Amino acid sequence: MTNKKFEISVIIPLYVIKPQFFRDLKKFLNQSFKNFEILVVCDQNISLPRIKGLFLRKIITGQDSTGPATKRDIALKCVKGKICAFIDDDAYPHPNWLKNAFNDFNKLNIIAVGGPGVTPPEDGYWEKLAGLVYESIFCSGKAQRRFVPTHQKYVDDWPAYNLLINTDILNRVGGYGNDFYGGEDTFLCLKLIKEGKIYYDPKVVVYHHRRRLFIDLLKQIFNIGIHRGYFAKKFPETSRQIFYFLPSILLIGFFLFLIGSFFNTGISLTFSLVFLFFLILGAASVFHKTDISSSFLVGLGIIATHLTYGTGFIKGLLTKNLTR
């Protein structure tokens, strides 16, 4: 094991072992910032490739099935960098990812930096449609900056697929300290914002592979909704905002109109017009990025995303104890 000192330790919690991960791992060779190590944390003793130019370490948890937060906390005990850079096993960095983040730490009085996870250009057709769903302002609202570069600002919550944190501060707050799977980063950020500022930099970019539209994406959305609903009840500091409740309000209105449409032609007509309006609105938000037929698929995806998230959010509100 090398005794080399590093400025940054990149931590990847490996869950799904497939060829895509190994292809993405090689893309770290393109980083313009060179003083970093990579820690791959997994439950199984997999064989990592020897990649000349990368300081690559494998950490075996010794457990059967650990969540991403637990894997990251295990890696935290082994890091050598002054900064921990978190990225998912289904993502890879822009060549200037570490360089831009490192400059932010040096120039600003911050403890953490986050950036967008954009859709990779090599993703398939249905994955790209899912990316367009996320990118639409009518789907993500103020969270749009998580999926497309917007304007830099300070934030109080950021996902761990692209989050870099001062190692000393991370140790001070006890790391992730939870085993949520979908809200582990929110729990961490609640602790971080008590220690300092989290900065969003649109130039700190990773490419985050999408789930396929519709079923795979909606499964992910449902899980996100459950965690946010639970957090709105359990940890209201950053999660009890009207923004997170809106899809559930839309869901209730949707089913009230749907049921009413079976008994009243006026309600049925209103329901159809409102549904068509939202479909066109969602499709129009991505007309400039794809063809018309694909835009309407995205429009349907946006509606389905809101309804699915709203359902998960309500389930989260009603959940007494959220376990992985």
Q: What is the pLDDT of residues 264-292, one digit of tens each?
A: 999 999 999 999 999 999 999 999 999 99
Are residues 193 and 78 part of one domain? yes
Taking the C-alpha atoms of residue 174 and residue 294, their distance in angstroms, rounded to an integer, is 45
Its pTM stands at 0.93
Based on DSSP, count helices (H) and strands (E) in the chain, helices before strands.
12, 11
Q: Which residues pair with 8 in a beta bridge?
A: 36, 83
Percent of the chain, pLDDT > 70? Answer: 98
Residue 2 — very low, low, confident or very high, per pLDDT cuts 50/70/90?
low
286: containing domain: 215-318
Q: Which residues pair with 91 in a beta bridge?
A: 208
Taking the C-alpha atoms of residue 186 and residue 278, their distance in angstroms, rounded to an integer, is 30
Could you say which of 208, 226, 254 is where a domain stops?
A: 208
Are residues 119 and 234 part of one domain? no
- 160, 68 contact by CB (below 8 A): yes
Q: Is 1 within a domain?
A: no
Q: Is 246 within a domain?
A: yes
Reply yes or no on whether the pLDDT at 3 is more than 70. Answer: no
Are residues 159 and 21 part of one domain? yes
Are residues 118 and 17 part of one domain? yes
Count: domains in the chain: 2
Are residues 269 and 191 part of one domain? no
Q: Is 3 within a domain?
A: no
**Pairing outcome for strands 153-155 and 198-200:** antiparallel
Span 18-36, pLDDT tens digits: 899 999 999 999 999 999 9
Distances (CA, A) of 320 to 118, 135, 204, 308: 34, 32, 37, 20
Span 227-277, pLDDT tens digits: 999 999 988 888 888 999 999 999 999 999 999 999 999 999 999 999 999
More confident residue, 198 or 48: 198
Q: Mean pLDDT, the chain, as a whole number?
A: 94
Could you say which of 192, 208, 224 is where a domain stops?
A: 208
Count of beta carbons in the 10 Å neighbourhood of residue 266: 9
Taking the C-alpha atoms of residue 162 and residue 93, their distance in angstroms, rounded to an integer, is 9
Are residues 236 and 167 part of one domain? no
- The CATH code of the domain that includes 135 is 3.90.550.10
Are residues 304 and 155 part of one domain? no
